[in-house]
Amino acid sequence: MSHCSLLCQFFISEISAGIRLQCTVCHGTARMGNKQTIFTSQQLDAYQDCTYFTRKEILRLFHRYRDLAPQLVPLDYTNEPDVRLPYELIGSMPELKDNPFRQRIAEVFSEDGQGNMTLDDFLDMFSVMSEMAPRDLKAYYAFKIYDFNNDDFICKSDLEKTLNKLTRNELTEDEVRMVCEKVIDEADLDNDGRLSLEDFQHMILRAPDFLSTFHIRI
Amino acid sequence: MLRKHSTPSPRLCHPRVRVGQGVRKLPSFDMKIYFHTCFLKVVRHPSRKYTSLQHTTRAVPQATVKMAASRIMETIPGEDGDLFELEAVWRPNREVRFDLTHANEDIEAHYNEPKHRHTLQRSSWSSSTQKVLSSMPSRSMKWNQAAAVNQSRSTKTQQRRPLSICTEDQDVFTDQDDYVDDELLKKLQGLSVGESAQLLREMPLSVSEKRQMRELVVCWESGKPRSANRPLCLYWFQTCLKKVVHSDWSGRQKSLQLWQKVFKNISAHFGMGVLSYFVFLRRLLLFNLLLMLINGLFLLLPQLSNPSSSTRTSSEAEHKSNLWMLTGMGILTDSVMFYGHYSDCQNGSSECFENYNIPLAYIFTFGTGMFVTCVKLVYNMSKAFGKSQSSTNTRSLVFKVFCSWDFKVYKKRSVRLQSVNICTQLKEMLSELSCKKQKRNLCSMLRWLSLHLLVWSICLLCMGACIFAVNYFHLVRPINSHDAEPVYLLILPLAVSAYSRLLPVLFDMLSRVEQYNSPDIRIYVSIARNLLLKGCIFTALCLWFGEIKPKKNEQCWETMVGQELYRLIVMDLIFEVLYIILAQFFWGFCVRNVTLRRRKLEFAIAQEVLELIYSQTLVWFGVLFSPLLPAVQIGKLYVLFYLKKTSLMVNFHAPKKHWRASQMSNLFIKLLFIPSFTGALTCVIYVMWSVKPSSGCGPFRNFDSMLLIIDQAKNSHSLNWLNSAYIHWVYNPLFLFLISGAFLAIIYIHMQVVDGQKVITGRLQKQINFEGEDKKFLIDKIQALNELKSQQ
């Protein structure tokens, strides 16, 4: 469906699952994800209730997940197989490959904390990073991503690591130190020298750009 | 050098350490060890030779070095024969304490800042203090999840992994999971289906945990899954309705994913700034679609299905027009495209259906279309305004560090460019902070002022010349389009498009000479100049239209105005296409391959968006005179989208300057509403009210003013209810007075509430500070008590 993918996208609704669509102009066909064999309808309901995706998007994401390792991921998920893709595969996705925070993102959303993700973790990651997720939820996960040592506070070393990743180590020592001091000065509300989740969320409330930057399109 | 031995007790060895001093850059050091007046960077060289040089400086006392050596042995795992190099960085005036608590992580310390005089010094806590602290309520899972349960809409901290503050007694508090899960489940139980799904989505739990919780809720209620309890069609209807009501029609609807993949590609390469232009284009497309739908259903279809008996004679010249598609003359003149074709339904039923009054439909369709557009614009503006209710100090470092990385960008080169951008901006901000703004002396101030005045005066002169030129055209060609050759008709629209497109480029080049204090001011000044230019062009066009007078009684000035606007829009498209081909493809090719710099062009977002706003203004102005104009605009936007996207990918590089996308998008929505929409609407309403419609054609040929048809309709029997409603509600001063009084009271109440909330926020802030002070005080006391106890 090369030329008319636009029109077909326009009119596709999420009820038409398991049906073959044929474009009347170019006679190209597309098959909507044949959900009867991948997920049961209860599973799809559950995923729909737990993420910000529709059925069509969940199936599309499943196919993206499967494309990373077709030999590891079965086509039949009705029995809840315990399949975990290693971090190297997740980090090789084009959307994450060059992102300096990809390791932290994978670690935060994975169950084992090492970046090896199941399908649930995969869906969770892209659901939180999608544009429908609310600000508080995104702020929570952003906090966890920037908290490199997982002590539930963003301390100075976390800030230094964040800055070095943002700027690819281009800033000098002094500049990094000054920026960290300024950040803690401005954002630390309870004066303990590091940012807690409340400080971070309070700061995010005042940030106009956060929702549009903390967003991955998939 | 330090050699690591594989003995079990490394403290027994006395390694010899070489310490260098200075700012020599070490290759990616492994860790830092902080001491009283300096810190040591430690680098491990896995395969270097061991040498026995020993050299210390007076910056680092011997004991310090020995301590460093023993710490290194404890903490850095290494092979036999590894070399450890220490570099001391001298830090006077800084008191640093050594922190021992994190065994496997980076050893760090807290600096004793002058401001944080009573900073929590975790370095000196004893283990009993740490045990007490780790059991503080704010650190335990129970409190956090209970807080999440109590607040249905916000999320609080939740631990996915145990805390790492205290190494002992960690698992004392991890069995609180069950207790909290029950609470959460009870909360979910009490809500309806949609609300519980919403609450579930917003919880910061993993999807597998959420699914388990959902299963429990479902099992609790009844043995069956929830979807079996209600009919499938009702569920489907509910979700559809929810989508329609809650979705934002300006493109975020899940089912209307026009151009989603293209947007992803664009944002991957170019980031949010350039993407906002294309999103704006899509938004305008949807506006025009809406207008077209309303016009098409209520005006076009009835008119097309009328038995038409056009008694108007048209001369031969009008039918024979070679460039009818470009000029709107010829076949299009007497078609549904323009005002003149629509019947006035006065003389019996020969022209229209009995029940459908086309003139009334014309007025109401126009009114409804404008009303719906206005409502949607105000809705979008208010949403954007609500989102941007933030502190105005957006130049703060905190936002730059945490909110500036655009995760949508994923192409390697663009990612690198983004890093460079952020680095540059951080350096700029730091330099701003460190050195104050220099006061200009009188001479440079005068020079700066005169330069600005010069540039502004050149810009204003250009705009004046533009107005003059547009009005001068009536000397070149006669006002009456009836006798002119079709080609002459196209000169004016071409000239207007050229001014509109090329003068901003000139302004841009001139503004490079000026110096501005900040890049934001530069953008705002450029937007202001462009806006003034567009305003001048529009004013000139209005004056030009004012001079259009038909030659004979049969000609319609409305149709002529409609044709002029049609020509403007079509020529704008053609000029745009030519511009893209010549100035972007051709010139971009030259710049890339011929010049030595080998760089691409830069996308001027503000100018492009203002172009879109200008063309949309023309459409809104012309809808009254040419009901099919939105369809032309839709076609134009469609072509422009694909052309611009192709040109973008080939000729442009990712933006080097920072573009505050959300603020600029808000600004552009506001500009779309206030000067563009309201200006066009005001002009059109003025025309409708004060200018007499032509008596030879159109639906209003028998009226003195277009709005008088409403008076006539009021008196007819079928619309009695409208008439009475009008007299009793709209015309009644008492009613209007009450309504406006109520409105003002509501606004006043809201303002008072907002003021009160500001006061409360300030007080809560102070309370947080006090609580923090209390906490530090208590921790110090606990520590003191524990020390006392351990000494006894």
Predicted confidence at residue B202, as pLDDT, reads 85
Predicted confidence at residue B44, as pLDDT, reads 62
Residues paired with residue B111 on neighbouring β-strands, in sequence order = B96
Q: How far apart are CA B77 and CA B104, in angstroms?
A: 10
Q: Considering only residues B378 and B144, tell me which one the structure prediction assigns the higher pLDDT.
A: B378
Q: How far apart are CA B626 and CA B560, in angstroms?
A: 10
Nearest to B654 by CA among B273, B386, B241, B346: B273
Predicted confidence at residue A209, as pLDDT, reads 81
CB-based contact B214 A51, cutoff 8 Å: no
Nearest to B362 by CA among B717, B720, B725, B684: B684
Average pLDDT over every residue of B764-769: 88
Q: Which residues of B touch A9 (CB under 8 A)?
A: 257-258, 260
The type of residue at B97 is: R
Q: Which residues of B touch A127 (CB under 8 A)?
A: 201, 207
Contact B403, A213 (CB under 8 A): yes
**Residue B266, Cα to own-chain centre: how many angstroms?**
15
CB-based contact A216 B427, cutoff 8 Å: no
**DSSP calls for B558-591:** HHHHHHHHHHHHHHHHHHHHHHIIIIIIIHHHHH
Split at pLDDT 50, 70, 90, the class of B240 is low
Split at pLDDT 50, 70, 90, the class of B253 is very low
Average pLDDT over every residue of B552-565: 79
The tally of CA atoms less than 13 A away on the side-chain side of residue B129 is: 22
Measure Cα distances from B609 to A39, B171, B479, B669 in Å.
45, 58, 32, 10
Q: How far apart are CA B64 and CA B71, in angstroms?
A: 11
Q: Is pLDDT of B117 > 60?
A: no
In a mutational test of the A interface, the residue from B29, B398, B758, B771 whose CB has the highest number of chain A CBs within 10 Å is B398
Predicted confidence at residue B162, as pLDDT, reads 33
Q: Considering only residues B82 and B279, tell me which one the structure prediction assigns the higher pLDDT.
A: B279
CB-based contact A101 B405, cutoff 8 Å: yes
Alpha helices in B55-206 (DSSP H): 62-75, 127-134, 141-150, 177-189, 193-202
Q: How far apart are CA B723 and CA B714, in angstroms?
A: 5
What mean pLDDT value characterizes chain A? Answer: 83
Candidate from B22-36, B94-108, B337-351, B375-389 with smallest mean pLDDT: B94-108
Phi and psi (nearest 5°) for B205?
-110, 165
Candidate from B303-317, B516-530, B545-559, B738-752 with smallest mean pLDDT: B303-317
Query: Residue-wise pLDDT tens for chain A (218 aa)?
Result: 444 444 444 444 333 444 445 555 555 545 555 545 788 888 898 999 899 999 999 999 999 999 999 999 988 888 888 899 999 999 999 999 999 999 999 999 998 888 899 999 999 999 999 988 988 899 999 999 999 988 888 999 999 999 999 998 888 898 899 999 889 888 887 777 888 888 888 888 888 788 889 999 88
Q: Which residues of B touch A203 (CB under 8 A)?
A: 398-399, 402
3-state SS, one letter per residue, for B466-528: HHHHHHHHHHHCCCCCCCCCHHHHCHHHHHHHHHHHHHHHHHHHHHCCCCCCCHHHHHHHHHH
Alpha helices in B296-357 (DSSP H): 301-304, 316-319, 324-327
Contact B455, B513 (CB under 8 A): yes
CB-based contact A157 B272, cutoff 8 Å: no
Phi and psi (nearest 5°) for B111?
-80, 145
CB-based contact A182 B255, cutoff 8 Å: no
Q: Is pLDDT of B529 > 50?
A: yes
User: Torsion angle, CA of A174/A175/A181/A184, rounded to 10 degrees?
Assistant: -150
Q: How far apart are CA A165 and CA B398, in angstroms?
A: 15
Q: How far apart are CA A102 and CA B410, in angstroms?
A: 11
The pLDDT > 70 percentage for chain B reads 65
Per-residue DSSP letter, A51:
S
Q: How far apart are CA B47 and CA B669, in angstroms?
A: 62
- Reported as a single tens digit per residue, the pLDDT across B37-64 is 455 666 666 655 444 333 334 445 556 5
- Reported as a single tens digit per residue, the pLDDT across A17-42 is 444 455 555 555 455 555 457 888 88
The type of residue at B519 is: P
**Residue B87, Cα to own-chain centre: how many angstroms?**
47
Predicted confidence at residue B384, as pLDDT, reads 79
CB-based contact A191 B155, cutoff 8 Å: no
Taking each helix axis from N to C terminus, what angle separates B272-295 and B605-622, rounded to the nearest 10 degrees? 10
Nearest CA in chain B to A152: B163
Split at pLDDT 50, 70, 90, the class of B165 is very low
Split at pLDDT 50, 70, 90, the class of B397 is confident
CA gyration radius, chain B: 37
Q: What is the ipTM of this complex?
A: 0.84
Compute the count of residue pairs across chains A and B with CB atoms less than 8 Å apart.
236
Nearest to B226 by CA among A52, A42, A56: A42
Average pLDDT over every residue of B466-477: 76
Q: For the purposes of burial, counting CB atoms within 10 Å of the CB of B472, is it exposed (0-12), middle (13-18) or buried (19 or more)?
A: exposed
Q: How far apart are CA B461 and CA A17, in angstroms?
A: 63
Contact B474, B547 (CB under 8 A): yes
Q: Considering only residues B398 and A25, tell me which one the structure prediction assigns the higher pLDDT.
A: B398
Q: Considering only residues B564 and B515, tell me which one the structure prediction assigns the higher pLDDT.
A: B564
CB-based contact B407 A209, cutoff 8 Å: no
Split at pLDDT 50, 70, 90, the class of B14 is very low
Nearest CA in chain B to A191: B772
What mean pLDDT value characterizes chain B? Answer: 74
Predicted confidence at residue B67, as pLDDT, reads 63
- Reported as a single tens digit per residue, the pLDDT across B64-91 is 566 666 666 666 555 555 556 665 555 4
Q: How far apart are CA B435 and CA B438, in angstroms?
A: 8
Residues paired with residue B503 on neighbouring β-strands, in sequence order = none
